[in-house]
Amino acid sequence: MLGSFSYFTVCEAIHGSTLGKLICSMQVLQEDGSRCRSLSAIIRELGYFVDALFFGLIAYSAMKDTEEQQRHGDKWAHTIVCKRRDVPATSRPGAMRFALAFMIGVFADIACGLLGLLVQLNS
């Protein structure tokens, strides 16, 4: 769980997209149109644990009540998810930045997995 959290947080903080969001041509931004900040990415991902309750019904009910279709994590972090074509050019990072974000995110995920194994072995 910690590995997944770190992957999503790192990718969204550095690039604004995870691999899935990139495939769907989506990006996470601050409400003012600037890039997603690190603290906002952390708050957004912590909010996911609330939004995912009851098979995502909590997030769905929150999203249908806002014009920007923000889930609770987005509201708390002041972020939005939008199509990349609607993102201002100054907030649209390139492919190399995604490659960096993806590699760091995957390494963070692997490191958390290895840390979990080490804790289990020492118990």
> Does the structure show a pLDDT above 90 at 56?
no
Instruction: Cite the beta strand spans of the chain per DSSP E.
Output: 26-30, 79-83
Confidence of residue 119 (pLDDT cuts 50, 70, 90): very high
Closest to 77 (Cα-Cα) out of 93, 62, 94, 98: 62
> Does the structure show a pLDDT above 90 at 29?
yes
And the tokens for 91?
């907030």
Mean pLDDT of 29-45: 94
Confidence of residue 66 (pLDDT cuts 50, 70, 90): confident
> Does the structure show a pLDDT above 90 at 8?
yes
At 63 the three-state DSSP class reads helix
Q: Are 28 and 41 in contact (CB under 8 A)?
A: yes
Average pLDDT, the chain: 93
And the tokens for 8?
């999503």
